[in-house]
């Protein structure tokens, strides 16, 4: 009897990850036998841990903080989405011990926003808070979805400028200084891609950013998103969503890459939402 295929998520820390639960649920739904575990690897040990996993027959790996950039650098081939983001959240084995990098974060974000929440992103004036790996994926995805303008604000302005330069659409993509947030006017789509909530900090955002029918979205979920969601609600946002759906949808994109079938995400999302 053949052994189930081996999958894992690499992070540091990683014990909190919902990925094992999500992929086991997808596998059960799809009738696929697999084993999926969480592997805690420090940045110094990450490359060796990943190579060891795949050398032992690993069939696929998800990558979470703080290793997405390292996963991109480790790969021998990279998808367009990974290349644009400069980071990878999925690694797949290639012949000869080589690795392919993918990034499903942007696709997961769009599916959650447009299919689960019914958001029409076309023509929106969007504000993106943050310019790190998650923000890079979000920026490209929003432009692909047809936002009218994208304003990127980051505490380190050079990082925001680098992202805008990489996109190369100065008529649509602008950067502003964090200290100028109170003077930027209002937006009808605001995304929080900073690590403030994850690190337990606050953003202290002006409520004037929220337009009359604005939708606000935090790429984090659970406790990490509470502060931003509370701010958006208090500021009168029409919608305020966290990133749990994005987590499920990016996992489904990875599952489809590995298994050739895309699972039904809604039951898994509702199960996680219900706790």
Burial-class residue 240 by CB neighbours within 10 Å (0-12, 13-18, 19+).
buried
Please count the CA atoms within 13 angstroms of the CA of 131 that sit on its side-chain side.
Answer: 24
Q: Nearest Cα to 108, choosing from 98, 117, 97?
A: 117
Q: What residues are paired with 217 via a beta bridge?
A: 191, 241
CB 99 within 8 A of CB 73: no
- Element (DSSP H or E) covering residue 151: strand 149-154
Range list of H helices, 60-177: 68-74, 80-85, 105-110, 133-144, 157-167
Task: Give me the active site residues, please.
Answer: 68
Q: What residues are paired with 216 via a beta bridge?
A: 190, 240
Determine the Cα–Cα distance for residues 271 and 275; give it in Å rounded to an integer.
6
Six token digits for residue 234: 């208090």
Six token digits for residue 32: 């696929």
Q: Peptide bond preceding 91: is omega within 30 degrees of 0, i.e. cis?
A: no
């Amino acid at each position: 009897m053949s052994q189930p295929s081996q999958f894992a998520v690499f992070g540091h820390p990683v014990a909190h990850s919902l990925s094992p639960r999500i992929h086991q649920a997808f596998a059960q739904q799809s009738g696929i036998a697999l084993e999926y575990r969480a592997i805690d690897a420090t940045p110094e040990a990450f490359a060796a841990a990943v190579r060891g996993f795949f050398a032992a027959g690993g069939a696929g790996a998800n990558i979470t903080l703080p290793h997405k950039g390292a996963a991109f650098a480790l790969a021998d081939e990279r998808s367009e989405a990974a290349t644009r983001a400069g980071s990878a959240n999925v690694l797949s084995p290639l012949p000869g011990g080589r690795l392919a990098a993918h990034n499903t974060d942007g696709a997961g974000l769009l599916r959650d926003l447009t299919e689960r929440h019914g958001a029409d992103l076309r023509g929106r004036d969007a504000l993106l808070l943050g310019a790190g790996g998650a923000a890079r994926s979000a920026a490209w995805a929003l432009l692909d979805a047809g936002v009218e303008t994208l304003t990127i604000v980051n505490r380190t302005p050079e990082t925001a400028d680098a992202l805008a330069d990489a996109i190369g659409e100065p008529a649509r993509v602008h950067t502003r200084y964090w200290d100028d947030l109170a003077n930027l006017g209002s937006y009808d789509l605001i995304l929080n891609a900073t690590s403030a909530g994850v690190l337990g900090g606050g953003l202290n955002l002006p409520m004037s950013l929220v337009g009359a029918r604005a939708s606000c979205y935090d790429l984090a979920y659970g406790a990490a998103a509470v502060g931003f969601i509370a701010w958006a609600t208090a500021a009168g946002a029409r919608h305020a969503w966290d990133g749990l759906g994005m987590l499920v949808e990016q996992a489904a994109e990875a599952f489809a890459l590995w298994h050739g079938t895309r699972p039904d995400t809604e039951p898994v999302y509702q199960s996680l939402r219900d706790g």
